[in-house]
Amino acid sequence: KPHLSSSTMASQDPVNPSHAAFDLFVQAPTCKDVKHQFAELCKQLDVNPREFRTFYIKVKERLNYWRAKALWTKLDKRASHADYQQGKACTKNKCLVLGAGPCGLRTAIELALLGAQVVVLEKRESFTRNNVLHLWPFTICDLRGLGAKKFYGKFCTGSLDHISIRQLQLVLLKVSLLLGVEVHTGVEFRGLIEPSGENGWMAELQPAAHPAASFQFDVFISAGGGRFVPDEESCAIGITANFINRNTAAEAHVAEISGVARIYNQKFFQDLLTETGIDLENIVYYKDDTHYFVMTAKKKSLLKQGVIKQDSGDAEELLAPANVDSEALNRYAHDAAHFSTGGLLPDLQFAKNPNGEPDVAMFDFTCMHRAENASLVRERRGRKLLMGLVGDCLVEPFWPLGTGIARGFMASFDTAWMVRSWGMGVPHLKVLAERESIYQLLSQTTPENTSKNYTGYSINPKTRTRGSTCPPSTPARCSTFTTWINPN
Ligand code: FAD
């Protein structure tokens, strides 16, 4: 068989195996599938993803296919931003990212664009969260710029401004892999191992013999998600419920509810309480892969409706499976969904979670913790490690307003900016001081007080604030940080 170079291959040929492999990769609907189709694509193109520095360039060269080219145009545009210095800003840096949630993956992409070697560790084997994230306009613009629509055709069509966590993770995973990020699933981070002998900073993993255990790094980013801190006084309880979306005309007509805060619609919540005994602070409904509801319920009403069996001051005890009547919880979530959509959703049937049970969850959600610091440098035996927090483990999300992803992505950009300074040799105290002063602004960020020039957003914080000044530097403090990321 004569050898055909990629440029002589018919670029529109539908049976070209590398084109077919690309299509399968782009459309892969599960995490496992993405990894499998990615390996197939690499095989077809004879490229080694471990050669991260040249990987994307080689894939691009070897895949002369119009569908792929449309994606390269997007990614090239992003990669050509001056901030990345042609992918050379962080060529000496090796970054370990804990967690392949949306914020971990979003950060990994930025670090790869800066030219760093990036390894992501994820303890779960699959992406299963149907829950839906509200997206601020800048996140929609950002994700479009990464080719989200090429991977997920339904992405934010029309006035849609949300996406399921699962779909978002899939999009970001695919982009990460194409940019040469190494993503390992089914491996849990247990703690940091200090440098010794020839070795630099490494991670203790479960399973211990995992190949990533030998990775040595100088940047560690924790994107491990939220942590709950019991706080009886302010305890409000979140419930999420997913119902099957059959995409019928009747379902299409039912209006979404985006953040009906109690103070704005007293009558709705009063009627709900009178008619059903359900007492909510707020409720959100999005139509996505599923009919998705998230609500904040008053503890008292959950006790009264028999959802929670015994009251307790300890959030963990309160919501322990043995203390929850799941039938009553399902009824509560169902009735709230039914009432708030005016009974217009016909045949509300729960979607199933990965265990085959109704996809309903309850958790303590006002009580999440805000980290005191966003960054830290540790030094042992002359080796420095830059550490940063992003996503829910940095700042607690308020889901009805979509702050989880919006502030999460902002923190990803800010963190990438910090790593950029680190890579470019800025003294570490200066790097930390800048990161902490930017962090002080994060929890006040709203769609109103950020720049409307979304296409101008970059990892440079100045591109995202209104006016173009950053706050004055404040000295970095280092108190509670290590217990967050090094639980052992
Ligand atoms: P996550 O999405 O939580 O990702 C963290 C990842 O890190 C996970 O995949 C986890 O498996 C992994 N991980 C954790 N520890 C380790 C470890 N030691 N080793 C390896 N991997 C690890 N937001 C909404 O807008 N609407 C909702 O309805 C909603 N529901 C939620 C329900 C729950 C139970 C939780 C926890 C969060 C919910 N959120 C919701 C918040 C939303 O999921 C986050 O804001 C968003 O996913 C961004 O989070 P992240 O990437 O920071 O963390």
Instruction: Tell me how far the alpha carbon of residue 224 lies from the centroid of ligand 1, in angstroms.
Output: 7
DSSP letter string over 282-293? Answer: EEEEEESSEEEE
Last residue of a domain, one of 339, 364, 389: 364
At residue 168, the pLDDT reads 98
CA-nearest of 160, 214, 155 to 184 is 214
Does residue 178 share a domain with residue 102?
yes
pLDDT band at residue 315 using 50, 70 and 90 as cut-offs: confident
Global confidence as pTM: 0.80
Q: Which ipTM was obtained for this model?
A: 0.95
Q: Which DSSP letter does residue 368 get?
A: B
At residue 404, the pLDDT reads 82
Does residue 381 share a domain with residue 352?
no
Q: Please name the amino acid found at residue 359.
A: D
Q: What average pLDDT does range 213-224 have in this prediction?
A: 96
Does residue 245 share a domain with residue 169?
no
Q: Which two tokens stand for residue 196?
A: 């010794």
pLDDT band at residue 106 using 50, 70 and 90 as cut-offs: very high
At residue 400, the pLDDT reads 65
Instruction: Tell me how far the alpha carbon of residue 207 lies from the centroid of ligand 1, in angstroms.
Output: 22
| pLDDT over threshold 50, residue 414 | yes
Residue 432 domain boundaries: 81-227+369-488
* C-alpha pair distances (Å), 368 with each of 202, 228, 237, 261: 29, 5, 11, 19
At residue 52, the pLDDT reads 96
Q: Please name the amino acid found at residue 196.
A: S
CA-nearest of 416, 426, 427 to 461 is 416
Asked whether residue 427 is assigned to any structural domain, the reply reads: yes
Between 297 and 258, the higher pLDDT residue: 297
Q: Which two tokens stand for residue 148?
A: 């989200």
Does residue 92 share a domain with residue 193?
yes
Does residue 212 share a domain with residue 166?
yes
Our answer on whether the CB atom of 200 is closer than 6 Å to any ligand 1 atom is no
Instruction: Tell me how far the alpha carbon of residue 219 lies from the centroid of ligand 1, in angstroms.
Output: 21
The strand order across the sheet containing 280-287 reads: 257-261, 280-287, 290-297, 237-244, 360-364
At residue 1, the pLDDT reads 35
pLDDT band at residue 477 using 50, 70 and 90 as cut-offs: very low
- In degrees to the nearest 10, what's the CA dihedral of 451, 453, 457, 460? -50
Query: How many domains are there within the chain?
Result: 2
Q: Mean pLDDT of all residues in the chain?
A: 87
Find all residues with CB under 8 Å of 25, minimum gap 6, and list them: 34, 37, 38, 40, 41, 174
Does residue 399 share a domain with residue 334?
no
pLDDT band at residue 58 using 50, 70 and 90 as cut-offs: very high
Q: Which atom of ligand 1 is nearest to the CA of 400?
A: 25
Q: Which atom of ligand 1 is nearest to the CA of 487?
A: 18
- Vertex 188: Cα angle to 183 and 194 (nearest 5): 95
Does residue 478 share a domain with residue 351?
no
Our answer on whether the CB atom of 240 is closer than 6 Å to any ligand 1 atom is yes
**Best of 364, 399, 410 for a ligand 1 pocket test (most atoms within 8 Å of beta carbon):** 399
